[in-house]
A and B are shown apart, each in its own frame.
Chain A
Amino acid sequence: MHKKLWVILALVVIVPSLLFTVACAKKTVKSEPEMTQTTEDQSAMEAQAARDKAAAEEAARQAELDRQRQMEEQELQRQMMAARNMFMNENIYFDFDSSVLLPAAQEVLKSKAAWMQANPDASVIIEGHCDERGTPAYNLALGDRRAESAKAFMVDLGIDATRLATISYGEERPVDKGSDEEAWAKNRRDEFVIE
């Protein structure tokens, strides 16, 4: 520390008066810019490093942003798929020998209509189904009415009728082959298939 102070003193005060002692002074002077340069190099490097770091940080930030954007996109995609799947998978259910839309069914149909409004290119087939009780011909007619009920409701909500086709399967395609009220309740349904 003292040595360094002495060196600085020598540089500022003694060196000009001791020009003859060049070698020494030179050596000293020589050593001094070297030091200065080292300092300059260091700071340049430091600046570069800072810039690099900033760039890296920026890149990371960008990457993170991209990742987020991608995730958001994926999330959106996922949500759209989920909405689509929900549209496809969420059935509406009916009482025995009835094609009247129950309140829960109406809520489901409202969300389905919203989805169709958000997806104006989609066309949908509404399938009407019945439980095994009753007879095949009457059940086919009943399934037809169940599909038509849902269609009429969605048309009332502003969906173009040409985007909604209906098909009845009557009692031909149960989702649950059981013969109890639980199975029957699952089978008395409309299914929604995106074309």
Chain B
Amino acid sequence: MLLTAGSGLAQTEYEYIDISNPFLRKIPLAVPWFKMTSGHAAEHEYARKAAGLISETLEFTGYFKILDQGAFLTDPLNPAIISANINFRNWTGIGAELLITGGILVKDDIVEMELRLFDTFKESLLVGKRYKGWVKDERQMIRRFCSEVIFHLTGSKGIFDSKIAFISTGTGHKEIYICEFDGYRPVQFTDNKNINLFPAWSSDTQWLAYTSYVKGKPDLYIKSLEEKRGATLDKKGLQITPAWVPGKFELAATLSFSGDQEIYLLTGTGKITKRLTYSRGIDVAPTWSPDGKRMAFVSKRSGSPQIYIKDIASGRVERLTFEGRYNTEPSWSPIGDKIAYSGMTAGEINIYVIDAEGGDPTQLTQNQGSNESPSWSPDGSLIVFSSTRQGLSRIYVMTAYGTDQRRLLALPGEQSNPAWSASAVNN
């Protein structure tokens, strides 16, 4: 029985989401209120809240069109949640192709949930999960189920346990903050009342490297997120734009102790092990291919800032961008095939995506202020960036195809330089 279901799932995996452009047609999804078990007042509140949270979390991916509760043909307070009881025509009738049902039991501080994803046309169960935990961990349970849903539909783990580091000036200084993937719960990470820039996550999400002027000049700091340890690189000149090598305790960064801005390879403890660029003039802003074999970076070697790719083993360097005279801030997709960057034309900066093997770039933003600093979600489906489209610089998210552009979070001051982490390893 399980095996049959398993092979069935494998065949249908990408039937729902067209991976060539998954955002072209959004899948209509219905999430009715959860079915209460005890019927207590507290449970009533959670029954609504949980359904809302599932809708928001899945809508964030850009894959779904969440159907309006007001259109539902079922009794909102007494939803059918298992196949045997569901009249699927109630759902296909309003255009829902997917249905998520939930049952909830809240007792003291403990919450139990059973969650199911159905294909309404095939009238079949796609994912079924049961969770039990502290009431305060409800959000994590919901996210875990959403990860299962996304994994079933796309074959990739999703983004729901990833985080975003960024710069905010809310205190009057450029400090680093960290929030969850959807902008939830921003927490101030640095507090040195100085200029802090270029946060960069290690691929195990345990370390953050960044530049800080805390000692009066741009030095590099490498900090453990969990423990009070780390390293500093404070040589003469610049130490900026760190980029961790995927899967390693190593990072590239731009240093200028020689009087020339070159990219070097460092250990996670801040020791220089290798020089990676050899061109008089600016070399800056490295980003790694997911296999760590190639590095894209910005160089002025041809006279204007352009993006180049260096093959580490052969040492060969090739120019990637040819359109425009100011292409910077490359960010290599964790999926590996694409590089996002920002390009300036006529004084306006926009986000572009280009195939890592070259070709014509695709412009993702236009006529909406300056759009800078793209960074990919861990599954390569979304891009976070900063934009001045509403005046002050704020952080926005869009799909990898440029659709569904929306603001990530509301905070005082200006926000910039977002960096999306990988998915957490221990989750």
Which residues from B are CB-within-8-Å of A137? Answer: 197-198, 240-241, 254, 284-285, 298, 328-329
Which residue of chain A has its CB nearest to the CB of B211?
Answer: A140
Contact B259 A148 (CB under 8 A): yes
A97-B305, A133-B347, A145-B282 known; A138 vs B298 contact (CB < 8 Å): yes
Q: Is B158 an interface residue (CB 8 A)?
A: no
Q: Is A166 an interface residue (CB 8 A)?
A: yes
Q: List 23 A-B contacts (CB under 8 A).
A: A97-B304, A97-B305, A134-B326, A135-B328, A135-B329, A136-B416, A137-B240, A137-B241, A137-B285, A137-B298, A137-B328, A137-B329, A138-B298, A138-B328, A140-B240, A141-B254, A141-B282, A141-B284, A144-B238, A144-B256, A167-B216, A168-B237, A169-B195
Contact B218 A134 (CB under 8 A): no
Other than the known A136-B416, A141-B261, what 19 A-B pairs have Cβ atoms closer than 8 Å? A97-B304, A133-B344, A134-B328, A135-B342, A135-B373, A136-B373, A137-B254, A138-B282, A138-B298, A141-B256, A144-B237, A144-B238, A152-B259, A167-B216, A167-B217, A167-B218, A168-B218, A168-B238, A169-B195
Q: Is B349 an interface residue (CB 8 A)?
A: yes
With both chains docked as a complex, state the minimum distance between the C-beta of A182 and any C-beta of chain B, in angstroms: 15
Which 9 residue pairs spanning A and B have beta carbons closest together?
A141-B282, A141-B261, A135-B328, A141-B284, A138-B328, A137-B285, A137-B241, A167-B217, A144-B238
With both chains docked as a complex, state the minimum distance between the C-beta of B105 and any C-beta of chain A, in angstroms: 50
Number of residues from A at the complex interface, CB < 8 A: 20
Residues of A within 8 A of B (CB): 97, 133-138, 140-142, 144-145, 148, 152, 165-169, 172
Q: Is B417 an interface residue (CB 8 A)?
A: yes
Which residue of chain A has its CB nearest to the CB of B326?
Answer: A134
Contact A141 B240 (CB under 8 A): yes
Contact B349 A145 (CB under 8 A): no
Q: How far is the CA of A133 from the CA of B347 in the complex (A)?
A: 7
Q: Is B372 an interface residue (CB 8 A)?
A: yes
Number of residues from B at the complex interface, CB < 8 A: 34
Which residues from B are CB-within-8-Å of A167? Answer: 216-218
Which residue of chain A has its CB nearest to the CB of B167?
Answer: A136
Which residue of chain A has its CB nearest to the CB of B329?
Answer: A135
- Encoded as 1 (CB less than 8 Å from any A CB) or 0, chain B from 82 to 119 comes to 00000000000000000000000000000000000000
With both chains docked as a complex, state the minimum distance between the C-beta of A173 and any C-beta of chain B, in angstroms: 8
Q: How far is the CA of A135 from the CA of B298 in the complex (A)?
A: 11
Which residues from B are CB-within-8-Å of A140? Answer: 197, 218, 238, 240, 284
Which residue of chain B has its CB nearest to the CB of A138?
Answer: B328
Which residue of chain A has its CB nearest to the CB of B281?
Answer: A145
Contact B261 A144 (CB under 8 A): yes
Residue of B216, B256, B285 near A138 (CB, 8 A) is B285
Which residue of chain B has its CB nearest to the CB of A173?
Answer: B195
Residue of A142, A166, A172 near B237 (CB, 8 A) is A166
Q: How far is the CA of A133 from the CA of B370 in the complex (A)?
A: 10
Contact B349 A135 (CB under 8 A): yes
Q: How far is the CA of A174 from the CA of B417 in the complex (A)?
A: 18
With both chains docked as a complex, state the minimum distance between the C-beta of A116 and any C-beta of chain B, in angstroms: 19
Q: How far is the CA of A166 from the CA of B260 in the complex (A)?
A: 12
- Encoded as 1 (CB less than 8 Å from any A CB) or 0, chain B from 282 to 311 comes to 101100000000000010000011000000
Q: How far is the CA of A153 from the CA of B328 in the complex (A)?
A: 29
Q: How far is the CA of A97 from the CA of B302 in the complex (A)?
A: 13
Contact B195 A172 (CB under 8 A): yes
Which residues from A are CB-within-8-Å of B285? Answer: 137-138
A133-B347, A144-B238, A148-B259 known; A138 vs B305 contact (CB < 8 Å): yes
Which residue of chain B has its CB nearest to the CB of A139?
Answer: B328
Residue of B254, B256, B326 near A97 (CB, 8 A) is B326
Max chain B C-beta neighbours (<10 A), residue from A137, A144, A145: A137
Residue of B198, B261, B305, B347 near A145 (CB, 8 A) is B261
With both chains docked as a complex, state the minimum distance between the C-beta of A151 and any C-beta of chain B, in angstroms: 8
Which residue of chain A has its CB nearest to the CB of B284?
Answer: A141
With both chains docked as a complex, state the minimum distance between the C-beta of B284 and any C-beta of chain A, in angstroms: 5
Q: How far is the CA of A144 from the CA of B342 in the complex (A)?
A: 21
Q: How far is the CA of A142 from the CA of B238 in the complex (A)?
A: 11
Which residues from A are CB-within-8-Å of B305? Answer: 97, 134, 138
Q: How far is the CA of A142 from the CA of B240 in the complex (A)?
A: 12
Residue of A135, A148, A165, A168 near B372 (CB, 8 A) is A135
- Encoded as 1 (CB less than 8 Å from any A CB) or 0, chain B from 391 to 419 comes to 00000000000000000000000001100
Q: How far is the CA of A189 from the CA of B197 in the complex (A)?
A: 21
Q: How far is the CA of A61 from the CA of B218 in the complex (A)?
A: 59
Which residues from A are CB-within-8-Å of B328? Answer: 134-135, 137-138
With both chains docked as a complex, state the minimum distance between the C-beta of A126 and any C-beta of chain B, in angstroms: 12
Which residue of chain B has its CB nearest to the CB of A148?
Answer: B259
Which residue of chain B has its CB nearest to the CB of A161?
Answer: B259
Residue of A97, A136, A165 near B197 (CB, 8 A) is A136
Which residue of chain A has its CB nearest to the CB of B241?
Answer: A137
